[in-house]
A and B are shown apart, each in its own frame.
Chain A
Amino acid sequence: MWEFIDERKAQIAFSAYQHVSLVLQAVLVATVIAVVLAVVVTRFRPLEPVANAVSAMGLTIPSFALLGLLVPLVGIGVASAFVAVTFYATLPILRNAVVGLQGVDARLVESAHGMGMNTLATLTRVRLPLAWPVILAGIRVSTQMSMGIAAIAAYVLGPGLGQLIYTGLAQIGGANALNSALVGTLGVVILALAIDALLLLLGRLTISKGIRA
């Protein structure tokens, strides 16, 4: 296997980079979408069960099925992979963001208004910082899940390490089939754990000491 890796260092590194890049970009977009939706949902309370139900249903749909539905719409390639990963990444973050924003003590929000913060300032200086630990937990769940979904998405020619797995599958019986699939799989595992560690670190840096568990 080391020989296999050695021979294809550049290609593997590029795939790994693409995989991470796809996931991080998708999660970033998902975070923005989820937080905006969560702010809307917490503003209009009756929407909350709807959002949670949609989120639960969305997560039920197998990623391979969603890819199948996306291909006719956005075509084969990076776009389908990106949309699919972003879709799944949004759901856990949305759920956590709703929980997190709702968990903010109403008296603190009133206190902020009472001191003359407008709605936007209250959101950015009080509600979001307080909900951030919960949102970040959602981001971690999303990122882990996205790493696996990105691997599946390689079937519709999405970028990343999943391609190595499918290459192995296609070359079955060939000399390097097992190596290829193994490198692809282990690569995803290692990257997933590394990114999770980075997100933990991000938490240490961005969660106020006053509310850290």
Chain B
Amino acid sequence: MSTTTPPSNTRAGGTDAPGNPDVSGVDLELVDVLKRYPGQKKPAVDGLSLHIPAGEIVMFVGPSGCGKTTSLKMINRLIEPTSGTISIGGEDVRGRNVDQLRRHVGYVIQGGSLFPHLTVAQNISVVPRLLKWDSRRTSERVDELLELVSLDPAKYRDRYPRELSGGQQQRVGVARGLAADPPVILMDEPFGAVDPITRQRLQDELLSIQEELRKTIVCVTHDIDEAVKLGDRILILQEGAQIAQYDTPEAILAAPANAFVEDFVGAGSTLKQLSLSRVSDVELVHPTTATVGERVAEVRARAEANGDQAVVVLDERRRPVDWMWLRELAAADTVRPVRDDVLTLDRRATLNDALDMMLTSTHGAAIVTGRRDEYLGVVNFTAVTGHIQATEQQLAEGRAADATAGRDDAWEGGGA
């Protein structure tokens, strides 16, 4: 069986060659990988062949027991394949001491699985210590990673996992996986144990981290929405890790390869398209902003001139800290935030996420941030509904075109 290579990816820019300096990941190759457990007739993974291009996120999805986790764990040899080869950056994983191999493959699992007896910093420095980094380099790396996952190092470095919320634990888990800067990161249901809002934030953060680092990430999930949102490609598996479809999210949603995939992806494909569109795809509006410490009178004047009832309050680094009604401003001479947990959307968040947040916001809209939480603007219902209408129209035109070109094309488009 030949290796499955999907059509090039549109979103991540499928032109990236392994030599691209921006990409710190490497290629991952599985050839005829088979796992048979003793005493079981059917192999858990039956001849899986797969090529994962450097710097991409590939999501493994499928019903439970389909072999997706087994496949993942064979990459870092937590499970030894019965036969077949797996290579990372062209190097056979079996050619290496298993512990050495794992120190160079990041591993992130549900809930972070932090060691409860170690502090955040100690948890993150497990692998650097195994690699015998000196303590200065290690502690610098810890701080750098905590910044990267949006946790203030001074505040969180010496905390124990039980002093963190679920989302924070998961962030530390991601930081720990990235600690020794491995080219490949394996994630097993990484965001399965947190509430939906936190999950969405963590997903956004992972995407923006990935934008900077361009690792090769393999991620197992049972949540098709998560797969669509995070994946550059999605691998949909059936029992025995048989590939049902391996393609970009767009292609899978537009043209499911067979009935199994169609069932799995679910109905309502227009709404699913909301998971494909990012907040950055729609036009943002720009209400009045204010900076902490600014004089209220000036802000009020500006807002009234714009006809706004509320202003977005930013800190000195242009990160949103509050979204205040004008009457809330009146309490003081200078602008001072009254809430301490303003909800924001990363620009990589899907329109699905945006709708969720707008529904719970008293402003009926959501603040959008970019790299390092910098303020970008606000997304509102009008923008989202406009985008949905445009997409629907496009799809309808696409279907009409398909119909004239002959139905069969749609089935073959899925590859695999």
Contacts and interface: CB of A to CB of B under 8 A. Distances in A.
Q: Is there a direct interface between A and B, measured as CB atoms under 8 Å apart in the complex? A: yes
Interface of A: 105, 107-108, 110-118, 121, 126, 129-130, 208-211
Interface stretch (B96-104, B212-220, B396-404): B96-104
A108 B115 contact: yes
A116 B105 CA distance: 9
The 4 A-B pairs at the shortest CB distance, nearest first, are namely: A210-B160, A116-B103, A208-B117, A116-B102
B259 to A, nearest CB: 35
Q: Which of B115, B126, B127, B162 has the most CB of A within 10 A?
A: B115
A160 to B, nearest CB: 36
B100 A116 contact: yes
A49 B162 CA distance: 33
Contacts of A130: 115-117
Contacts of B104: 116
Contact of A118 (B78, B99, B109, B115): B99
Nearest to B120: A210
Contacts of B130: 115-117, 121
A184 B103 CA distance: 58
A129 B117 contact: yes
A108 B130 CA distance: 17
Contacts of A211: 116-117, 160, 162
A112 B114 CA distance: 10
B126 A115 contact: yes
Given A115-B130, A116-B130, A117-B99, 8 more contacts: A105-B113, A107-B111, A110-B113, A111-B107, A112-B126, A114-B109, A115-B102, A126-B115
Contacts of A208: 116-118, 160
A207 to B, nearest CB: 8
B288 interface: no
A56 B375 CA distance: 66
B107 A115 contact: yes
A9 B154 CA distance: 56
A107 B169 CA distance: 15
Interface string B53-88: 000000000000000000000001010000000000
Contacts of B115: 108, 111-112, 126, 130
Interface of B: 76, 78, 99-104, 107, 109-111, 113, 115-119, 126-127, 130, 160-162, 176, 186
Contact of A111 (B109, B117, B119): B109
A210 B119 contact: yes
Nearest to B162: A210
Contacts of A118: 99
16 contacts: A105-B113, A107-B109, A107-B110, A110-B113, A111-B109, A111-B113, A113-B78, A114-B107, A114-B109, A115-B102, A116-B104, A130-B115, A208-B116, A210-B161, A210-B162, A211-B117
A121 B101 CA distance: 16
Contact of A107 (B102, B113, B161, B162): B113
Contacts of B102: 113-116
Contacts of A117: 99, 126, 130
Given A108-B115, A111-B113, A210-B160, A116 B78 contact: no
A129 B99 CA distance: 21
Q: Which of A112, A113, A116 has the most CB of B within 10 A?
A: A116
A117 B110 CA distance: 19
B160 A209 contact: yes
Contacts of A115: 102-103, 107, 126-127, 130, 176
Nearest to A121: B130
A118 B160 CA distance: 24
B186 to A, nearest CB: 8
Contacts of B111: 107
Contacts of A112: 115, 126
B99 A210 contact: no
B108 to A, nearest CB: 9
A116 B160 contact: no
Nearest to B177: A115
A161 to B, nearest CB: 38
A105 B99 CA distance: 21
Contacts of A126: 115
A126 B127 CA distance: 13
Nearest to B104: A116
Contacts of B110: 107
A116 B101 contact: yes
A187 B45 CA distance: 67
Contacts of A129: 117
Q: Which of A115, A117, A130, A210 has the most CB of B within 10 A?
A: A115
Nearest to B76: A114
Contacts of A113: 78, 102
A112 B100 CA distance: 13
A193 to B, nearest CB: 29
A210 B107 contact: no
Contacts of A111: 107, 109, 113, 115
Contact of B99 (A108, A110, A116, A209): A116
B40 to A, nearest CB: 20
B192 to A, nearest CB: 12
A116 B127 contact: yes
Contacts of B161: 210
A28 to B, nearest CB: 23
A107 to B, nearest CB: 5
Contacts of B109: 107, 110-111, 114
